[in-house]
Structure 1
Amino acid sequence: MNKMLGKISFRNKITSILLFITLLLSGYSLVLVESIDQVNEIGTAIRSESLPEVLWLTHWEKELAVKEHLAESYLLDSLCCGFMESYDKVGEKSDQELISQYGEIPEELTELRNEISLLNFNVENKFKGLILYNNERGAEDFIRHEHLPLIRGLRAEISNEQTSILASLNEQSEKIPDIIKKSLWLLIILTSAAVTISFMASYRISASLTNPLEKLTDGVRQIKQGKYGLLLKDNSQLELEDLTSSINEMSVQLKSSFQKIIKDKSYREQIMNTLPVGIITVDERKNSTLNDWARKLLLIEEDQLSSQSRGLENRAFWSIFLSEQECRNEKVIYTKKGADYTLLVSQTSFLNKEEIEAGRIFYFVDITDTEKLEKRIHQSEKLAAIGEIAAGAAHEIRNPLTVIQGFISLMESSLSNDKREQFRIPLLMKEIERINFIIEEMLMLSKPGAPIKQKVFLEDILGEILPLIRKQTEAKVSYEIHMEKVLIAADVHQVKQVFHNLIRNSVEAMEGEGTISITSQVKDNHYVIYFKDDGPGIPKQDYNSLFQPFYSTKVNGTGLGLTIVQRIIENHGGTIEADPRVEKGTLFIIALPVL
């Protein structure tokens, strides 16, 4: 039933309800016509039956009253001639008028009329006869004993008949209010039914329209809120089927368009996020976005950008961002977690479709590794140049120095102890050995040679050189060795040189007294060595220059020891650095690849 009604249009539903109410009221009009017919029938009956009878009876009653008066007057005055003349005139003309106006006497009154006619006949025959024979006495007796009783009887009969007719009239008249009352009740019932049906129908019809509209409104609201692709159920209202179909098509198209936009946006974001460039965009409403690389390097999110850019740190970087002025490839230093990064910063505006400025792009590239590489290349070139000069100078110095050392050795062996002390022969030999050591370092710096690697344990190499170092230094230095026994590929001679240089620097820094700690661990496929002493440490400002050639904080230092150590470690594929975070002494961290 509901499905069938759902296929009826809203207009047809209203038309059907109006037609039904019209038919209902038309039915009442039929009943009303019938009631009117009943009233008309009663009126017709009264007019055609009861009313003529009442008129005739009234007429006869008046006629008999006159005749009775004439009879009584006769008995009082004995006017016989005048009585008959008056008696004959009564009723003749009136009967003719009534017959002409209302027709013949009703059948119900025929008998009564006959009795009146008989009364007149008796007067005409008996009374006149007695008068003609001068029998006045008989005539008076006739009037007194026959005529007057008969008249009075007829008047009583007419009165009874009038009462009966009036009762009938009252009975018929009482039917009219009943008919009207029934019609009014029927009108009230039909009107109430029509109002009730109209109310129920209007509620159902309005519900059949408003409920689907509310569902459509709710569905459109959900689609508006982002639930694209939502399909509304088939509408039960015929007029709304096309609208529902259009909304579903719109929802599907919106979902498809939104997915396409999301896909394009994701594609562009992936491109932006995979670029090794930090990008910050600011639109015309001052809304900012960062790509992943910018978040990772700056360690901030969009909502922190405003407060961060107005902080005290990295003013050079943020001043360019806040200036909103175009710039190209400006080099600035950005500090993060105590580490300095070199960034190449640029800023430019971008335009919308109307070629109107819609915002700006602030982008930067991390060139820290490039800077370091440039410094290393510069240092390598510097070392190469120094090495070439040092190599030539070392060869030129070594030849005469060898001759000098030979002659001094001969003098030392031929002179007495006093003469040796007098000519400071031991001091000369020590200085010559120091010059030889410097020459060896210069030759090592200029051409360290490719490492001849073999599988070794660094703990064993350290065990070989420690006794020699203890003997040479004669210092009060204790050693704490805790190294894991792990095989690595290394040049034994060059590794000995590394340990020798580091230990010698520590002993000299501690002024011959203290503790040297050497420990190790395997970490990220590297054998990490921690070389620490408890000396005075290295000044903070000197950390960046430790491995530069000829840089030394010692009066008699050559500045080549740590440079040679770095060259050897790097030739082994490893790294070395000094940790500036130690509170006391010096800590070198060496990492060499494990097998």
Structure 2
Amino acid sequence: MKRAFLEKLLGRIPRISPGEVQVYLENLAREKGFLETIFNAILEGVIVTDIQGKVLYLNRSACAFFGIQEDASLGTSVGEIMHGLDLEAVSGATATISGDLEVCYPQHRFLNFYVVPLMSEAGIEKEMQLEGQGIILRDITETRRMTQATIESERSSALTLLAAGIAHEIGNPLNSLDIHLQLMKRCMKKLPKSLRMELEKSVGVARHEVARLDQITTQFLRAIRPQPLKLDVENLNCLVQESVAFLQVEISNRDILVELELGSTLLKLRVDRNQLKQAFYNVIRNAFQAMKTGGILRIKTGVDASCAFVIFSDTGPGIPAENMSHIFAPYFTTRESGSGLGLMVVKRILQAHGGEVGIESIEGKGVSVILRLPCTVQRTRLLNSGCPRSGLKRETT
């Protein structure tokens, strides 16, 4: 409502009867209620502040975005709600300000916002005067996820193309090097003992490095080149026990205690035993390397309404919060000797089975890696798009 109209209305109050005042107030109340209904119905968040940045109004969506109550937030600084917002820039702004905001509570999401100045006519010359700011917020979480998925898809395609070159340009020369090093070792048997021992040590180091490069190349190819699943009915508990037994020497050398808590009612699953055991190896080795020497690795299996799960919990130092968003990225590692491909392989194997990987970490207390596998093989999955024209109905049996 314009300031000129309010001034005119206030000037007429002495000449208006109480009944007319009541009618005016009822009309104003209806208009206010109608506008509030509209603002509360829209999906975008709306916050209105005065020129000092104090909140005058916020709609239902804005409250939901930040997990706050309207009554408790009125009169507070907008900076207390939108942490990180430049309050001074907003409180004195006469131009539109735009930006993105990450919200962690009550739900992790990303918001795009823009701040517009609210101007009104004032004085005889009707100059525009700043009355406050309006802040419009839009949830862009899904948009960011789709963008990230597109980037990851393009990255995967580029890596797959690169893998074909690596297999030829690195794999074959490494095999040739290893063969020639073996031939050198045989020829060294004819040399004097002192010279032979020195050369054997150098050849041993060279063969070890060749083997390490070959392992990195193999991991890289497994990570980005899809392998067809050879599905068979397997007992998940047995696969976990076999994986632990395979790594028993490394477990003993590192003085690590492995505690197994295997579910008694676990369903048998159709899985590729070799690929799934490879995923287990990678997770277990990551836990060993995090704990270094000593520590406890707890492995728990079980089943819920729709999925079987395996949880690997270590007592290592945990993952810093700033690294959590990068742990599945190729080549990301915090270890000098790490390849940064282990968890990427795990994620690819679980996704090929229709499953998923979750990570929970508490700095200083350890990491839990949760592998979830569907109890039935999922090739496709119908998503609830919310489109009434799809003609699809949910049936229960």
TM-score where L is the length of structure 1? 0.48
Equivalent residue letter for 2:150 = I
CA distance in 2, matches of 1:569, 1:322: 50
Given candidates 89, 98, 101, the residue that maps to 1:332 is 101
Given candidates 416, 434, 450, the residue that maps to 2:212 is 434
Q: Deviations over 1:383-432 (max 9, x none)?
A: 43234224312322111222222333344456549546632344443333
In structure 2, the residue matched to 1:533 is: 314
Instruction: Pick 1 or 2: higher relative contact order, CA cutoff 8 A, min separation 6.
Output: 2
Q: Deviations over 1:107-166 (max 9, x none)?
A: xxxxxxxxxxxxxxxxxxxxxxxxxxxxxxxxxxxxxxxxxxxxxxxxxxxxxxxxxxxx
CA separation of 1:330 and 1:477: change in aligned 2, threshold 3 A: same
CA separation of 1:416 and 1:274: change in aligned 2, threshold 3 A: farther
Alignment of 1:468-547 (within 5 A): 468-471=246-249, 474-475=252-253, 476-484=255-263, 485-522=266-303, 525-547=306-328
* Alignment of 1:400 onto 2:173: yes
In structure 1, the residue matched to 2:380 is: none
CA distance in 1, matches of 2:228, 2:85: 44
Equivalent residue letter for 1:366 = D
The answer for unaligned runs of 5 or more in structure 1 is 1-220, 226-253
The answer for unaligned runs of 5 or more in structure 2 is 1-18, 121-127, 377-397
Alignment of 1:300-319 (within 5 A): 300-305=68-73, 306-307=75-76, 309-311=78-80, 314-316=83-85
Given candidates 281, 289, 296, the residue that maps to 2:64 is 296
Does structure 1 retain, via aligned residues, the 8 Å contact 2:96–2:117? Answer: no
CA separation of 1:348 and 1:366: change in aligned 2, threshold 3 A: same
Does structure 2 retain, via aligned residues, the 8 Å contact 1:346–1:362? Answer: yes
Secondary structure of the corresponding residue to residue 587 of structure 1: strand
Equivalent residue letter for 2:207 = M
Query: Number of residue pairs matched?
Result: 339
In structure 1, the residue matched to 2:10 is: none
Equivalent residue letter for 1:363 = I
Q: Deviations over 1:315-369 (max 9, x none)?
A: 31766764564526422334436x76431002346799xxx99986422112234
In structure 1, the residue matched to 2:357 is: 576
Normalized per residue, the structure richer in helix is 1
Q: Please report the RMSD computed on the Cα atoms of aligned residues, expressed in angstroms.
A: 4.2
Does structure 1 retain, via aligned residues, the 8 Å contact 2:330–2:340? Answer: yes
Equivalent residue letter for 2:200 = F
Equivalent residue letter for 1:469 = L
CA distance in 2, matches of 1:558, 1:539: 19
Alignment of 1:40-79 (within 5 A): none
Secondary structure of the corresponding residue to residue 333 of structure 1: strand
Q: How far is the alpha carbon of 1:560 from its aligned partner?
A: 1.4
Does structure 1 retain, via aligned residues, the 8 Å contact 2:262–2:300? Answer: yes
Does structure 2 retain, via aligned residues, the 8 Å contact 1:314–1:333? Answer: no
Equivalent residue letter for 1:479 = V
Given candidates 541, 545, 555, the residue that maps to 2:336 is 555
Does structure 2 retain, via aligned residues, the 8 Å contact 1:278–1:294? Answer: yes
Does structure 2 retain, via aligned residues, the 8 Å contact 1:405–1:429? Answer: yes
Secondary structure of the corresponding residue to residue 336 of structure 1: coil
Q: How far is the alpha carbon of 1:441 from its aligned partner?
A: 0.9
Greater gyration radius: 1
Q: How far is the alpha carbon of 1:499 from its aligned partner?
A: 0.9
Which is worse superposed, 516-525 or 392-401?
A: 516-525
Q: How far is the alpha carbon of 1:443 from its aligned partner?
A: 0.9
Alignment of 1:110-129 (within 5 A): none
TM-score where L is the length of structure 2? 0.69
Normalized per residue, the structure richer in strand is 2
